[in-house]
Amino acid sequence: MEKTIQRGYAKINLHLDITGIMENGYHSVNTVMHSLSLCDTVVLTRRADSEYTVKCDVSAVPVGNDNLAVRAALLYKQAVSCACGADIYIEKRIPMAAGLAGGSADAAAVLRGMNELCGDPLSEEELCAIGSRLGADVPFCVCVSAAYATGKGDLLHPFPSMPDCTVVVACGGEGVSTPEAYGMLDRLYGGFAVGCGYVPRDMSALRESAERGDVISLAKSMYNIFEEPVLSVRPVAAGLRSILLENGAIGAMMSGSGPSVFGIFTDEKSALRAAEAIKQTGVTPHVCKPIS
């Protein structure tokens, strides 16, 4: 095979909470992630030599070895001695540094694509293991579209897919860097130290809603521990969330550590009306579907 076209799907967090601090100093999380039809397209073309190049249609995306897609290709080459080189082209549609795992989605697309170019020598589990060295969200992006995740977000457990609905995603204004966002939480919750008294939220209502296919109850059971502290200092994102709710979203929340927000709609007309209202603020809305 000379060329393969892969999709890297955006994820949203339907639940995101902290359960403590691990021995390595990372926060351990309880999270439910779901993929959306909003995606980057990643084209891999086999090269005669063993080099990797990356190009992207959005100039802000790094195109050197700090691009997660290139790092994924280099790790793949280490794992599979016969791996070929490739020219990687990314058509970027997932907003960057937005809490939607755009870079992780591209890395996952490259791992799947490289494996296809090389005749599928590695299993999905092996691709996930490579992915977890690149970032907590990469294993999810490699192999599933709905999961409950623990550890740093890379230990995946089954979770039912979202019922059919329309999701409007909006990303506007400045974000808070991930370390800064964790710092905010540490200050609020005593560093999540043993004895600090923080009790993670129960997520059984979310799981049961998904199992029953009850999208209204699911939308009402969502939780993100980052939302309150981050939106309190990011009025643009907070305003976009309000617009989603004012226009008929049955639930709206920030994804990851933001600044993206998403609204869940049972009725497509309301979703389109919300998207139009978002557009009026100068922000590009993404009207999409959960994928399973």
Tokens of 25: 């100093």
Contact segment (CB under 6 A) with ligand ATP among 28-36, 59-67, 200-208, 280-288 equals 59-67
Question: Exactly one of 6, 30, 35, 67 binds ligand ATP (CB under 6 A); which one?
Answer: 67
Euclidean distance between CA atoms 49 and 119, whole angstroms: 17
Question: Exactly one of 16, 32, 69, 149 binds ligand ATP (CB under 6 A); which one?
Answer: 69
Rg (CA), the chain: 19
What 3-state class would DSSP assign to 197? Answer: coil
β-sheet bridge partners, residue 138: none
Active-site residue identified among 11, 77, 92, 106: 11
Q: 171 to 230, contacts with ligand ATP by CB under 6 A? A: 178
Euclidean distance between CA atoms 135 and 104, whole angstroms: 7
Question: Exactly one of 72, 73, 101, 218 binds ligand ATP (CB under 6 A); which one?
Answer: 101
Beta carbon nearer to ligand ATP, 99 or 131: 99
Shortest spacing between CB 152 and ligand ATP, in angstroms: 11
- Say how many CA atoms lie within 13 Å of 145 toward its Cβ: 15
Shortest spacing between CB 247 and ligand ATP, in angstroms: 24
Euclidean distance between CA atoms 242 and 92, whole angstroms: 27
Shortest spacing between CB 240 and ligand ATP, in angstroms: 16
Q: Is residue 6 part of the contact set for ligand ATP (CB under 6 A)?
A: no
Would you tell me the crossing angle of helices 124-134 and 102-117 to the nearest 10 degrees? 140
Tell me which H or E stretch contains 36. strand 27-47
Active-site residue identified among 17, 40, 137, 154: 137
Q: How many helices (H) does the chain have, and how many strands (E)?
A: 10, 11
Shortest spacing between CB 208 and ligand ATP, in angstroms: 26
Binding residues for ligand ATP, total number by CB under 6 A: 20
Question: Exactly one of 72, 102, 108, 210 binds ligand ATP (CB under 6 A); which one?
Answer: 102
Q: Among all chains, which residue has been given the structure tokens 């590695």?
A: 122
Q: Is residue 106 part of the contact set for ligand ATP (CB under 6 A)?
A: yes
Tell me which H or E stretch contains 147. strand 146-150
Is-catalytic flag, 137? yes
Would you tell me which residues interact with ligand ATP (CB under 6 A)?
A: 61-62, 66-69, 90, 96-104, 106, 137, 178, 256
- The residues that are catalytic are 11, 137
